[in-house]
Amino acid sequence: MEQLLITGGNGFLGSHLAEGLHQAGYRIKILARNRGSDTPAPEFETVWGDIRDEAVVDHAVRGVDRVIHTVSNFRKGGSDKDQAHGINVEGTKVVLEAVRRHKVKQYVHCSTIGVHGSVLEIPATETTAFNPGDIYQQTKLEAEELVWEFTRHHCLTTTVIRPISLIGPGDTRMLKLFRMIKKGRFIKFGPCNAYFQPAYIDDVVEGFRLCLDNPKAFGEVFIIGGDEYVPLETLFTIIAEELQVKPPAIRIPLTPMLWAASLCETICVPLGIEPPLHRRRMSFFQNNRAFSIAKAKKRLDYRPRINLRESIRRTIVWYEQEGWL
Ligand SMILES: NC(=O)c1ccc[n+]([C@@H]2O[C@H](COP(=O)([O-])OP(=O)(O)OC[C@H]3O[C@@H](n4cnc5c(N)ncnc54)[C@H](OP(=O)(O)O)[C@@H]3O)[C@@H](O)[C@H]2O)c1
């Protein structure tokens, strides 16, 4: 039985990958930062530590067959440049060095559709021009470039996956939106005609599984997610329908909020405070996220099973079970 290392194995995607790929027959090792209360799942081997720590990463990579690297400072919207670069780029470098040293059979790099930023070409594909819009997206792109450079120099077997916006049990990023819509307090900024495309977490895990030990995935980039995109206005209506409340009706212009977000970041980031409002959060209302998954369908026979409405429904059920809605 092959052993997989999943970095960030206690994160949203990482924990679903660990569970799903364990069920698919892999032995799982995870590398994770202990948040204090975390206890290791008995079915997984766990290495605690920071992705930037060479000794920790070397220990984690030693002896595994394949590595899936998901660690990122994703949730830290207002994080400073050094932190984003340190985790997303330098951290990736530390993992790549260990992958090379230990002659790992395959390196699967978790990137993001965010490297394309807000897309003009609809739907965008793996070859659409890069257009990263913030420090997170810029450093994710830098990491991808580093991965390919390293792959060429050291003849690694690499696959890059760019997941679309994840949704499903375990997600907390969309919770605020669902809550506000339920309470009738959600305010729409701007016209809300930008596209949004959710990717149900189990479908994304399946996309990763299909890339493992699959020569059709070696040296390739895949966009993985659901295949429906809708304008934000429609997304808000579907969420409201599934919550059985009225769709949000209040709308205010976007531009003043962008100024406020920028101001919040300028004040909070130097003080080490997570800004309550930041440009990345506001970019939700501006950025077009509409992607084609045709390549994954064709080469990997990838077929997402959970449609957009059902993704939302299942996410609501989970929020309710947690007592959050
Ligand atoms: N969620 C999405 O919509 C989405 C969409 C496209 C791509 N992605 C990509 O998917 C991956 C996983 O995202 P996610 O949504 O699962 O986010 P997440 O829940 O925040 O997971 C990221 C994981 O990385 C860990 N991490 C951060 N800094 C670390 C460090 N210095 N050392 C060790 N571990 C560290 C986090 O641990 P802590 O909790 O201790 O910080 C967390 O477990 C990321 O690469 C992200 O770019 C996500």
More confident residue, 272 or 210: 210
| CA distances to 91, 173, 264 from 269, in Å | 21, 20, 8
61 pLDDT tier (thresholds 50, 70, 90):
very high
Using the mean position of ligand 1's atoms as its centre, give its distance from the Cα of residue 165 in Å.
13
Inside any domain, residue 129? yes
31-52 residue pLDDT tens? 999 877 777 788 999 999 999 9
DSSP line for 134-159: SHHHHHHHHHHHHHHHHHHHHT--EE
Is the pLDDT score of 281 beyond 80? no
Residue 125 confidence (pLDDT) above 70: yes
pLDDT of residue 81: 85
Region 317-322: mean pLDDT is: 98
Question: What's the pLDDT tens digit per position in 130-156?
Answer: 999 889 999 999 999 999 999 999 999
199 - beta bridge partners? Answer: 166
Residue nearest to atom 1 of ligand 1 (CA): 166
* Across 217-245, average pLDDT: 98
Instruction: Give the per-residue pLDDT at 78.
Output: 54
Write the residue with the smallest CA distance to atom 24 of ligand 1.
71
- For ligand 1, is residue 77 a contact (CB within 6 Å)? no
pTM attached to this predicted model: 0.94
Does a structural domain hold residue 14? yes
- The predicted pLDDT at position 301 comes to 98
Contact at 8 Å (CB) between 61 and 94? no
Q: How far apart are CA 69 and CA 116, in angstroms?
A: 20
- Give the CATH number for residue 142: 3.40.50.720
Number of domains in the chain: 1
pLDDT at 177: 96
User: Distance between CA atoms of 63 and 101, rounded to whole angstroms?
Assistant: 11
Residue 103, pLDDT score = 98
pLDDT attached to residue 75: 61
The pLDDT assigned to 34 comes to 84
> CA dist 273 to 85, 183, 260, 267, 269, Å?
18, 27, 16, 9, 6
Mutate to test the pocket of ligand 1, among 38, 61, 70, 137 (most ligand atoms within 8 A of CB): 70
For residue 243, being part of any structural domain is answered with no
- What is the arithmetic mean of pLDDT over 288-311? 98
**Has residue 87 been placed in a domain?**
yes
Would you state the pLDDT for residue 276? Answer: 79
| C-beta 13 within 6 A of ligand 1 | yes
Q: Which pLDDT score, from 0 to 100, does residue 201 have?
A: 98
Q: Is the pLDDT of residue 254 over 90?
A: no
163 in contact with ligand 1, CB cutoff 6 A = yes
Can you give the C-alpha Rg of the chain in angstroms? 19
- Going by C-alpha positions, the residue among 114, 69, 91 that lies closest to residue 223 is 114
Residue pair 27/2 in contact (Cβ under 8 Å)? The answer is yes
Say if CB 229 and CB 195 are below 8 A apart: yes
Dihedral pair phi/psi, residue 144, rounded to 5° = -60, -45
Using CB atoms within 10 A of its CB, is residue 273 exposed (0-12), middle (13-18) or buried (19+)?
A: exposed
Which of 74, 167, 283 has the most ligand 1 atoms within 8 A of CB, as the residue to mutate? 74
Q: What are the contacts of 149-157 at 24+ separation with CB within 8 A?
A: 150/93, 150/96, 150/100, 151/107, 151/219, 154/100, 156/96, 156/99, 156/100, 156/104, 156/107, 157/105, 157/106, 157/107, 157/218, 157/219
Cα angle 19, 292, 282; round to 5: 80
- Output the residue whose Cα is nearest ligand 1's atom 13: 13
Q: How far is the CA of 253 from the centre of ligand 1 (A)?
A: 32
Q: SS3 for 18?
A: helix
Distance 241 CA to ligand 1 centre (A): 30
Residue 153 is assigned to a structural domain of this protein:
yes
Q: Is the pLDDT of residue 245 over 70?
A: yes
Residue 135 lies in a domain: yes
What mean pLDDT is predicted for residues 60-78? Answer: 88
What torsion do the CA atoms of 92, 97, 98, 101 make, to the nearest 10 degrees?
A: 160
In a domain, 148, yes or no: yes
Measured from the CB, is residue 305 less than 6 Å from ligand 1?
no
Task: Print the domain residue range for 68.
Answer: 3-170+198-227+290-306
What pLDDT was estimated at residue 308? 97
Instruction: Give yes or no for residue 270 having a pLDDT over 90.
Output: no
Give per-residue pLDDT as tens, 153-174. 999 999 999 999 999 999 999 9
At residue 253, the 3 state secondary structure works out as coil
Strand partners, 28: 4
Q: Rounded to whole angstroms, how far apart are CA atoms 208 and 191?
A: 35
Q: What pLDDT band is residue 264 in, cutting at 50, 70 and 90?
A: confident
Please report the pLDDT score of residue 324 as a whole number: 96
Residue 218 domain flag: yes
**DSSP conformational letter for 269:** G
